[in-house]
């Protein structure tokens, strides 16, 4: 997919009057947090303010998030109408999300569905995947297929059925195939940039206002292993 703009460390994949879609890079936080680091939402607001010479505050709605070490598609709303409608699409699972991941230890099956019960640990900000339901756990489901076998790693395409905290990271760790660079979930070493090899590759949804079918594809980071995929 063509990148519309690549200014100010901001790759824009789609932009109209109602929504703006960005290809998040490693280390970006989508929304402000306790670190005090400048969030992606502020960078996008500055871009809009500058491009359209907008006086005063720019409205920008955060619809969903990606983990800080993850890359790929993030959608923001430019109007309150788009925000409420996009929130509805995401909460009703009327969007289709596809991720790419590079994992250590090839999964046993070339394609399969993974179903776990995820329990979140707020203290260390992780989720643990259980095969059976445990108290305060939530059902997590996805399917995957192997798309490429690399020398020491395996590249997967993953379709999410649910959107749980750290779902992909926890589920692949549970089957013994942690994501490359993901120390929190069992990888043996970190990536030089502090990121992990998990990329929100593709998103399909019906536009909240125009009702057009929108398919966004985010280029992978320009990095040796991703380039091999």
pLDDT of 91: 87
Answer whether residue 166 shows pLDDT above 80: yes
Integer angstrom CA distances of residue 102 from 25, 70, 72, 113, 177 = 16, 12, 14, 17, 9
The average pLDDT across 153-179 equals 96
Using DSSP, state whether 46 is helix, strand or coil: helix
Q: What percent of the chain has pLDDT over 90?
A: 82
What value, to the nearest 5°, has the Cα angle with vertex 2 and ends 52 and 98? Answer: 110
């Amino acid at each position: 997919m063509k990148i519309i703009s690549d200014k100010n460390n901001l790759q824009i994949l789609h932009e109209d009057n109602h929504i703006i879609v960005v290809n998040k890079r490693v280390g970006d936080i989508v929304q402000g947090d306790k670190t005090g680091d400048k969030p992606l939402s502020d960078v996008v607001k500055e871009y809009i303010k500058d491009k359209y010479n907008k006086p005063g505050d720019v409205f920008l709605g955060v619809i969903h998030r990606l983990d800080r070490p993850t890359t790929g598609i993030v959608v923001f709303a430019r109007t309150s109408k788009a925000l409420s409608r996009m929130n509805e699409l995401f909460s009703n699972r009327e969007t289709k999300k596809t991720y790419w991941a590079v994992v250590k230890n090839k999964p046993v099956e070339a394609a399969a569905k993974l179903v776990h019960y995820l329990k979140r640990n707020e203290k260390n900000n992780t989720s643990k995947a259980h095969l059976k339901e445990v108290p305060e756990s939530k059902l997590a489901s996805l399917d995957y297929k192997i798309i490429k076998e690399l020398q020491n790693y395996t590249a997967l395409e993953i379709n999410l059925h649910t959107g749980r905290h750290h779902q992909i990271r926890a589920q692949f760790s549970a089957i013994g195939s942690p994501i490359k660079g993901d120390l929190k979930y069992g990888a043996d070493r970190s990536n030089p940039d502090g990121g992990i090899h998990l990329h929100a590759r593709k998103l399909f949804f019906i536009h909240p206002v125009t009702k057009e079918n929108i398919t966004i594809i985010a280029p992978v980071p320009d990095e040796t292993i991703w380039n091999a995929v």
